[in-house]
Structure 1
Amino acid sequence: MDNYLIIEKLGSGTFGVVYKAFNKQTDEIVAIKKLLHKYEESSSVKIIINREVKSLVFNKHENIVKLKEIINEKNTIFLVFEYMQGSLHHCMVHRTKANAPFSEAEVRHVCFQILQGLAYMHHNGYIHRDLKPGNLLVYNDVVKISDLGACTRDE
């Protein structure tokens, strides 16, 4: 983690905390998910990590969030992802408060991107199982599927 400077906490969930960070080597902003449980202590953490990492490795697509690096430091796992501005849920709430709902064209564009990512995952035999606006990340006009920890592979 020496290569990263934590900027701010973005959010937290059942299995981890997500931070916005600066990569000192590449001068880029990234998102780092720090898993809350030690890797060696919890078999459920191992299962989630294995599912998420395998799903991300086999599903490289422009509408699926990119895993850049995995760091194991003192049995704490950090997953380094490309940085996205926020979730679709956050965008929906913000736009509702601003009384600026999505246009039909915007809804179509968002849906198309989600379906493109899902089609790619399904083609590779993966099922997301936790698709919701909070797990769809947005950067400008690009929507990406994230949080693949609940993914299963259809054998």
Structure 2
Amino acid sequence: MDQWMKLFVLGAGSYGKVYYAVKFHSSSIFAEVAPVKCSDISRSSLLELEAQILTTLKGFPNVVQFFGAALSVDNGIPTYNLFVEYACGGSLHDLIINSKKGMMKMSELEVGFYTYQLLNGILHLHKKGWVHCDIKPANVLVFDNELKLADFGLSLRVGDGMAYMTGRALSNRGTLPYAPPESLTHGFHSKAYDIWSLGCTMAEMMTGHRVWIDCSTKDLQWMIMNEDPMIPD
């Protein structure tokens, strides 16, 4: 960890912060770069889970690659650090926003191409017995013309054909606008959860807008459980 230098903050999440880090080599004029997700060791369980999942998915296409984890002491605080590959194109959310700014929606061909890639990543994840539970544009990274799933901290382990049931209403695990009805009515989290979230993401790529209107959390929960999402013709 001493070889890596954290330069600036790229973003933040419920687990902690993401830094842009570089590592210099004495034998080369080039430096390695990587985002490093950092968390106080006392609340690093989400990052440790993500490291566990990414280790099993190493080398699979359309899944962000994992470079390892390390412990450090930052400003006197024991810190867990998770290193992943750097996405030069930002996130799919950024891509959608930039398309809207340019007044040009993604073509059906582009959406189909990107959706195929995400399905490929989801397939590998499900084969390993995991449900992502938080697929959305902000959790998809862009590498040139390739999309990769990222941010696995909310994932759940499921068996073949099995699902995770909390038994409690309104106990959805992921981001609400991308959550399927059964996750709210019964706390039901199966592999179908990710497919629903992908459908919401695909529609957002097509239209530049989420499938649900902006409203309060309570109203959005009611709409997801009782109404059909706004899918373009």
TM-score, with structure 1 as normaliser? 0.89
Secondary structure of 2:63's counterpart equals: coil
Larger C-alpha radius of gyration, 1 or 2?
2
Within 5 Å, give how 1:9-20 maps onto structure 2: 9-20=9-20
Note the alpha carbon deviations across 1:10-63, whole angstroms, 9 max, x for none: 11111121122222137222111111xx21x34xx32x1332111111112121
Counterpart selection for 1:95 from 92, 99, 123: 99
Which contiguous aligned blocks of 4+ residues in structure 1 show a shift greater than 6 angstroms?
A: none
* 1:51/1:152 contact within 8 Å kept: no
1:64 aligns to 2:63 (yes or no): yes
Within 5 Å, give how 1:130-141 maps onto structure 2: 130-141=134-145
Amino acid at match of 1:141: N
Return the structure number with greater relative CO, CA threshold 8 A, min gap 6: 1
Secondary structure of 1:148's counterpart equals: coil
Note the alpha carbon deviations across 1:67-109, whole angstroms, 9 max, x for none: 1020111320111111002110011001111112211111111
More strand by share: 1
Number of residues of Structure 1 aligned to a counterpart in Structure 2: 149
1:126 aligns to 2:124 (yes or no): no
Counterpart selection for 1:77 from 77, 80, 91: 80
**Percentage identity across paired residues of the two chains:** 30
Matches of 1:24 and 1:5, distance apart in 2: 9
Q: Which residue is equivalent to 1:6?
A: 6
Secondary structure of 1:108's counterpart equals: helix
Unaligned runs of 5+ in 1: none
